[in-house]
Amino acid sequence: MFPRRAVVRGGMDPMHPYEHLSLFTVGLILAVWLIGSHALMLAKPTLVQGFLKKFPRDAVMGQILLGIGLAWFWLLIAPENMGIVSSLAMDLGEFNGAKPILRILVPVSLVLVATSVRDFLAVRALGVVGLMVASPLLESAFLKDPSTRLLVPLYAYALLTASLFWVGMPYLFRDAVNWVTADRQRWNAFAVAGLGYGVAVLVCALAFWRAY
């Protein structure tokens, strides 16, 4: 999703922090997320369905998620020599010249969008966060040996695709929620599928990814 090199100045590590991510650690985190969220869907369907149906119109949640997503992006274009603030800064190649403008536009956009966009703000913001999460997921599996690593990028690309739709056509999130919650068997099948994927990731992490 983003160029693979960090900004190199004064003997800094030429590898971006994302490139140091362990497939094993990322796999465990992803497995816990998948197993936990989908197990909750099975155990507390009414609670989770109620949350999902209210989520698209939740302005406060939208502002929080948008703040997280845009702050994360700002760290990728942060100025050099700012210590830990610059630790995630990336070399954007031919787009490096746009960084000073983006550093201003990102916080301005945050304020404008959070205060003026009301329709489906939470879904759009979730899409922004999803786009940011996909990059470290992909980096953790990049050029690693076990073929089972593909479980991570498959999830990342699914997340990327869904996030693009959530940002551009957020009403699709509402429609998907309405569709999956309309039938109990459909809901259970979706939850079991996600739970099974999480278990598969956990098994592969423990069995094959410890050295990666």
Which DSSP category does 11 fall into? Answer: T
Query: What are the tokens at 41?
Result: 């869907």
Task: Give the other-Cβ count within 10 Å of 161's Cβ.
Answer: 12
Q: Where are the domains of the chain?
A: 17-208
Q: Give the mean pLDDT of 128-157.
A: 95
Task: Give the other-Cβ count within 10 Å of 153's Cβ.
Answer: 17
Hey, what amino acid is at 50?
A: G
List pLDDT tens digits, range 96-128.
Answer: 888 889 899 998 988 888 787 778 999 999 999
Hey, what amino acid is at 138?
A: L
d(CA 204, CA 88): 28
| Whole-number average pLDDT of the chain | 90
Residue 196's nearest CA partner among 38, 41, 49, 14 is: 38
List pLDDT tens digits, range 17-75.
Answer: 998 999 999 999 999 999 999 999 999 999 999 999 999 999 999 999 999 999 999 99
Q: Which helix (H) or strand (E) holds 88?
A: none
d(CA 118, CA 56): 10
Query: What are the tokens at 153?
Result: 């990028």
